[in-house]
Amino acid sequence: MAGIVVVFDFDKTIIECDSDNWVVDELGATDLFNQLLPTMPWNSLMDTMMKELRSQGKTIEDTAEVLKRIPIHPRVVPAIKAAHALGCDLRILSDANLFFIETILKHLGLEEYFSEINTNPSYVDEEGSLRISPYCDFTNSPHGCSLCPPNMCKSVILERIQTSVSTEGKKRLIYLGDGSGDYCPSLKLKEGDFVMPRKNFPLFDLICKNPLLIKAGIHEWTDGEELEQILLNLINSISIEENAQFLSADCKLQTISVEALPQALPVQQ
Ligand SMILES: [Mg+2]
Ligand SMILES: [Zn+2]
């Protein structure tokens, strides 16, 4: 293992658009969505919209079919597969919902590549309507973060990932995102980590206002091609750096088991 954890936002990072907007638009409910948006939180609105679409006769299969047509840059799937082949632990941290994400990942043949999907839970109810719940129970246990929407503060999840990976000996994080919800977790990244904000999207603009608040290295990207190049370069440079550190500590080598040796590059078959 490369000892690197890569955390991906989903909407406008892995896929090109916002999956919630895509489903609403493709199933013909944009006007109602826009009308209700000022009246409730986004996450609650999506639950309402899915119930409304069901009452108009749309099935869960209709939703799945629409999700399978979602635009994605052709270099994103190869980038994810290459990062996985280099030994990275890949995770998703998204404010979409589990049904949307799992349907798309399965369609792209990517469901085995991620060790975790952290997102809003969803299920199909007895009427056949997709129900979407908030990740965080904001009435009984609010997350208390003023930067984030009530249903999800991505920092809560990122900090849990940071704690768990430090006990597994994986030290470096790379975070990819585009939205304002990705700013809060970017502030929690540490020196030696990297943040990859999508250029000219809200996360990038927020970071640019005061880059000194970010302890991680900042590497912006514009499209899937740059995402692939920059991500793989970062993974390789971290691996080389960690190998060099490891070899320079050669006096300690005899006490470390072979299993603990970092593998910087994949074995070519
Ligand atoms: Mg996003
Ligand atoms: Zn937050």
Which among 9, 47, 89, 182 is annotated as catalytic? Answer: 9
For the record, the structure tokens of 184 come out as 């809060």
Cα separation, 267 vs 62, in Å, equals 42
47 is an annotated ligand-binding site residue: no
For the record, the structure tokens of 140 come out as 């009984």
182 is an annotated ligand-binding site residue: no
The residue with tokens 């603990």 is: 260
25 is an annotated ligand-binding site residue: no
Per DSSP, helices labelled H in 56-201 are 60-67, 76-85, 98-107, 154-168, 183-188
Cα separation, 255 vs 232, in Å, equals 31
Query: If the chain, 269 residues long, is cut into consecutive pieces of 10 residues, what is the mean pLDDT of each piece?
Result: 89 98 98 97 96 98 98 98 97 98 98 97 97 92 93 97 85 96 98 97 98 98 98 95 75 49 51
Nearest to 192 by CA among 167, 206, 175, 209: 175
How much distance in Å is there from the Cα of 254 to the middle of ligand 1? 45
SS3 75: coil
* 11 belongs to the catalytic site: yes
Tell me the per-residue pLDDT of 25-83, one tens digit each, with 9 for 90 and over: 999 999 999 999 999 999 999 999 999 999 999 999 999 999 999 999 999 999 999 99
Q: What is the pLDDT of residue 250?
A: 57
Ligand closest in space to the Cα of 155 = 2
- The DSSP bridge pattern shows strands 4-8 and 89-97 to be parallel
DSSP per-residue string spanning 15-38: SSS-HHHHHHHHTT-HHHHHHHGG
Cα separation, 177 vs 187, in Å, equals 13
Q: What is the pLDDT of residue 258?
A: 46
* 193 belongs to the catalytic site: no
Per DSSP, helices labelled H in the chain are 19-26, 30-36, 42-55, 60-67, 76-85, 98-107, 154-168, 183-188, 202-209, 224-248
> Largest alpha-carbon pair distance within the chain?
70
Q: What is the pLDDT of residue 256?
A: 47
Q: What is the pLDDT of residue 166?
A: 84
Tell which CATH classification among 3.30.450.90, 3.40.50.1000, 3.40.47.10, 3.40.50.300 matches the domain 4-17+73-252: 3.40.50.1000
Q: What is the pLDDT of residue 245?
A: 77
